[in-house]
C-alpha cells in the first residue's frame, strides 16, 4: 500500500520536475524492467537480449501505425503479441541451456535480430531507423500533447505493475522462484522447469513488447539501437541498480537510470562513468540494489532512534 502511494505521488510530481517526455520514458522503461525482472529476479535467468522483444514490437507496431494508421489499442496489442511471440522463439532455444550458455544465447539471438533489422531497410529503415511514427488520438483525446501522452503511459504503467504483481504472487510466481532456488528439486516435485522458464520468457517478452510500442510512439521513431545490445544491457543495468530481488526494484532502477542519463548527459559527455561507479557500488555492497540499500538505512535509523 505504501509503495502504491509513493508511486502515485511520483507519477503526479514527476512531470513538474522533468520534461513530460522524460517522465514518460521513465515509466516506459519501468514496464520494460518489470518484464526483464520476471526473468532475472524471479526465475534467476539473465536475459541479455531483452531488446529483441522490445525492438521487434516497436518495429511491428510502428510499421502498422505509420502505414496502416491503426489505433493505439491495436498497436499495443500487436506489440504485446510480437513481444510474446519473439520471446517464445528466443526462449524456446534458450531454455535448453542454463547459466552462461543461456546468457550467451540470448545475446547471440539479440544480435541476429539486430542484423535483420539493420539489413531489412525497406521496412525498418536500417541505420536511419523508422521515423514518422504517429501518435493517434485515443477516445477523442489528442495524444500529440506530451502531457496527455504522459497520462496514458502512466496509466498503462499502473496496469502493467498490477498485472505483474498478480503474476508474481500467483502460483506461477512461486514456481518460478522455486526453479530459481533449486531447479533439481522443482523438477523432482513435479514441475517441468524448461516449460516454466519459457512461460517466464513469454510473459517478460509481452511486457517488453508493450514498452517497445510506447517508446516508438513517444519519440515518433524506432532507432536501430532500440533492438541493439546496448538497450538490452541498459535494462539489466537499471534493474540491478534498482534491485532485482523485489517487484519495485526495476521501477526505482528505471528512475535512477533515465534521470541520470537525461540530466547528466547534458552536462558531461562522460556521464556513463557515473553509472559505472554506481554499478560497482551496487555489485560490491548492495546486491539487492537501491531497494536493499534503502531497507538497510531504514533498519539502521530505527535501531539508532
Pick the binder of other proteins from 121, 170, 263, 265 (CB under 8 A): 170
**Set of cell numbers at residue 219:** 519519440
Give the residue, chosen from 5, 16, 100, 184, that forms a contact with other proteins under the rule CB under 8 A. 184
SS3 content of the chain, % helix, strand, coil (to 5): 80, 0, 20
Number of residues that bind other proteins (CB under 8 A): 23
Q: Which position among 85, 95, 109, 178 is part of the footprint of other proteins (CB under 8 A)?
A: 178
Residue from 99, 122, 190, 302 in contact with other proteins (CB under 8 A): 190
Q: Under the criterion CB under 8 A, does residue 187 sit at the interface with other proteins?
A: yes
Helices (H), ranges, 100-228: 100-119, 121-124, 146-168, 171-181, 183-188, 193-219
Closest CA to 196 of 34, 43, 50, 35: 43
For other proteins, give the closer residue by CB, 139 or 189. Answer: 189
Residue 174 engages other proteins in binding (rule: CB under 8 A): yes
Nearer to other proteins, 119 or 192 (CB): 192
Options 108, 151, 158, 172; binder of other proteins; rule CB under 8 A = 172
Among 12, 17, 181, 265, indicate the residue that binds other proteins (CB under 8 A): 181
Cell match 528439486: residue? 185
Assess 192 for contact with other proteins (CB under 8 A).
yes
- 148 class by beta-carbon count within 10 Å (0-12 exposed, 13-18 middle, 19+ buried): middle
Query: Which run of H or of E encompasses 61?
Result: helix 51-68
Query: At which residue does the C-alpha cell 504503467 appear?
Result: 157
192 grid coordinates: 517441468
Q: Does 99 bind other proteins (CB under 8 A)?
A: no
Q: Does 189 bind other proteins (CB under 8 A)?
A: yes
Residues from 212 through 231 that contact other proteins (CB under 8 A):
none
| CB 251 to other proteins: min, Å | 21
Q: Give yes or no for residue 1 binding other proteins (CB under 8 A).
A: no
Q: List the one residue from 191, 219, 271, 294 that touches other proteins (CB under 8 A).
A: 191
> For residue 141, what is the DSSP state?
B
d(CA 211, CA 204): 11
Give dist(CA 12, CA 149) in Å, integer.
Answer: 14
What residues between 149 and 168 interact with other proteins by CB under 8 A?
Answer: 166-167
User: Could you list the residues that contact other proteins (CB under 8 A)?
Assistant: 166-167, 169-172, 174-175, 177-178, 181-182, 184-193, 203
Amino acid at each position: 500500500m505504501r509503495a502504491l502511494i509513493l508511486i502515485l505521488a511520483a507519477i503526479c510530481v514527476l512531470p513538474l520536475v522533468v520534461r513530460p517526455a522524460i517522465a514518460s520514458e521513465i515509466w516506459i522503461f519501468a514496464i520494460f524492467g518489470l518484464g526483464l525482472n520476471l526473468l532475472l529476479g524471479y526465475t534467476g535467468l539473465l536475459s541479455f537480449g531483452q531488446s529483441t522483444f522490445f525492438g521487434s514490437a516497436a518495429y511491428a507496431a510502428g510499421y502498422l501505425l505509420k502505414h496502416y494508421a491503426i489505433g493505439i489499442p491495436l498497436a499495443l496489442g500487436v506489440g504485446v503479441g510480437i513481444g510474446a511471440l519473439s520471446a517464445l522463439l528466443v526462449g524456446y532455444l534458450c531454455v535448453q541451456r542454463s547459466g552462461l550458455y543461456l546468457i550467451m544465447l540470448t545475446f547471440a539471438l539479440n544480435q541476429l535480430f539486430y542484423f535483420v533489422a539493420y539489413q531489412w531497410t525497406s521496412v525498418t529503415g536500417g541505420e536511419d531507423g523508422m521515423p514518422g511514427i504517429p501518435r493517434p488520438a485515443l477516445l477523442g483525446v489528442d495524444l500529440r500533447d506530451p502531457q496527455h501522452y504522459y497520462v496514458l503511459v502512466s496509466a498503462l504503467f499502473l496496469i502493467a505493475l498490477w498485472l505483474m504483481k498478480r503474476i508474481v504472487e500467483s502460483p506461477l510466481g512461486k514456481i518460478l522462484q522455486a526453479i530459481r532456488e533449486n531447479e533439481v528439486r522443482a523438477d523432482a516435485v513435479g514441475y517441468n522447469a524448461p516449460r516454466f522458464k519459457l512461460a517466464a520468457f513469454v510473459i517478460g517478452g509481452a511486457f517488453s513488447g508493450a514498452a517497445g510500442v510506447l517508446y516508438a510512439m513517444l519519440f515518433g521513431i524506432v532507432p536501430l539501437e532500440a533492438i541493439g545490445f546496448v538497450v538490452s544491457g541498459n535494462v539489466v543495468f537499471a534493474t540491478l541498480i534498482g534491485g532485482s530481488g523485489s517487484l519495485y526494484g526495476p521501477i526505482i532502477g528505471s528512475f535512477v537510470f533515465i534521470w541520470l542519463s537525461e540530466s547528466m548527459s547534458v552536462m558531461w559527455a562522460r556521464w556513463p562513468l557515473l553509472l559505472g561507479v554506481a554499478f560497482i557500488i551496487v555489485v560490491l555492497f548492495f546486491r539487492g540494489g537501491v531497494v536493499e540499500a534503502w531497507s538497510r538505512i531504514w533498519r539502521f535509523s530505527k535501531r539508532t532512534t
